[in-house]
Amino acid sequence: MPILAPPLIRPLLITSDPELLDDMLRLCAAAGVEVDVAPDPTAARPGWARASLVLIGDDCCVAVGQAAFRKRDGVVVVGRDLDDRTIWQRAFGIGAEHIALLPDAEPWLIARLADAIDGGGPRGVTICVVGGRGGAGASTLAAALAVTAMRAGRRAMMIDADPYGGGADLLFGGEHAAGLRWRDVAVAKGRIGGEELVNALPRMGELAVLSCDRGDPLDLQADAMSSVLAAAARVCEVVVVDLPRSIGEPAQIALVASDLVLMVVPAEIRAAAAAARVATEVTRFADDVQIVVRGPAPGGLDASDIANALGLPLAGQLKAEPALAVALERGEVPAGRGRGPLAEFCRRLLASRTFADERSLSAVGVRSPFVADAPLDQQPWSGW
């Protein structure tokens, strides 16, 4: 099934530095974006106003400033010298909104390039979930968040970003469902159409699930992750990404694109110690990282003490839910019945976020025709 969308207005790159040009073309290729290149302000003038994003090499900053272009949004200065403090003055002088210094800013630039071609219209909220240690329950929380969003009438997608996690479709009893998996999506080149992607995935109501399969592990690529995230955020109000604890380049792309990252940490000393290492990596790429402490606490550890030890804010505490593990083994959807500590936590968290249409998940009258008040194991799945 084709999932490529028609091309949109390209970003504009202004540089005469051949090495910087090579680096930027490589990053554009990783983002699946074609870019117009201008070696100087004169060549850049025709495309300045209409470009979806303007990237200015530091070598051209002074010349662009002298050209007196009309101020516009979406201008990024790209440089390499981490010790050059004067680049900030040059960037400010041309009205740049951001300075990207290579190579550290490469994941951010890939995500920003992919975002630029998605153009006009509000973006969905992207929430990443990662375990502070193995078996922390991150995948269950990710699935529950996506299900809770769908139950409240939000169009949602869950993205399984862990090739070694066994497949997120198992959490929904959809391992035999027809529809694309990562192995199918990863071969797409260029910009992925959001509607086409959603329609090609197995769905339950407004929840689409992009899962890894159980064949040979797939080496997810940064460009595929970037394209999928951009496509999902264009057409879904809530995008939930289940991340592996190994923060490779695809996970970095997801973290950069996230509005919120939740790290699940069991209320145990060793789990908190393991989470400290994961937190160090995650906070390199994400601005808003919060801790979810999962009970029980065998030694009486307090959730706030764990969050304070990790130096991160506490999103909340998940009380022990003894029946949850049994329900998951029976194939019940996490938070599918809308009851219990997990479902309640997800409702509170999602209701606290601001969505594209400026309504919270607790808004009255925003319900999916698929959900009513029935348990999700009685809901119609597309291909399930």
Reduced 3-state DSSP string for 257-305: HCCEEEEEEECCHHHHHHHHHHHHHHCCCCCCEEEEEECCCCCCCCHHH
My answer on whether 157 and 78 are in the same domain is: no
Judged by average pLDDT, the poorest of 23-37, 244-258, 322-336, 364-378 is 364-378
What mean pLDDT comes out for the span 131-153? 93
The pLDDT value given to residue 108: 84
- Checking if the pLDDT of 103 tops 50, the result is yes
pLDDT digit string (tens) for 47-64?
Answer: 999 898 999 999 999 999
My answer on whether 22 and 148 are in the same domain is: no
Strands 207-210 and 289-294: unpaired
- Alpha carbon distance, N-terminus to C-terminus of the chain: 18
My answer on whether 202 and 336 are in the same domain is: yes
- Checking if the pLDDT of 310 tops 90, the result is yes
- Checking if the pLDDT of 123 tops 60, the result is yes
Cα separation of 356 and 374, whole Å? 27
Residue 241 vs residue 226, higher pLDDT: 241
302, part of any domain: yes
Task: Give me the amino acid identity at 317.
Answer: Q
- Checking if the pLDDT of 7 tops 80, the result is no
**Whole-structure pTM value:** 0.68
Q: How confident is the model at residue 167 (pLDDT cuts 50, 70, 90)?
A: confident
- Checking if the pLDDT of 6 tops 60, the result is no
- Checking if the pLDDT of 227 tops 50, the result is yes
My answer on whether 148 and 228 are in the same domain is: yes
376, part of any domain: no
Please count the structural domains in the chain.
2
Tokens encoding 276: 């400290």
371, part of any domain: no
My answer on whether 205 and 314 are in the same domain is: yes
384, part of any domain: no
Residue ending a domain, among 83, 116, 149, is 116
Task: Give me the amino acid identity at 349.
Answer: L
368, part of any domain: no
Residue ending a domain, among 116, 148, 175, is 116
Query: Which domain covers residue 240, as residue numbers?
Result: 125-362
- Checking if the pLDDT of 111 tops 90, the result is no
State whether residue 92 is helix, strand or coil.
Answer: helix
Average confidence score pLDDT of the chain:
84
Residue 345's domain is classified under what CATH number?
Answer: 3.40.50.300
My answer on whether 225 and 354 are in the same domain is: yes
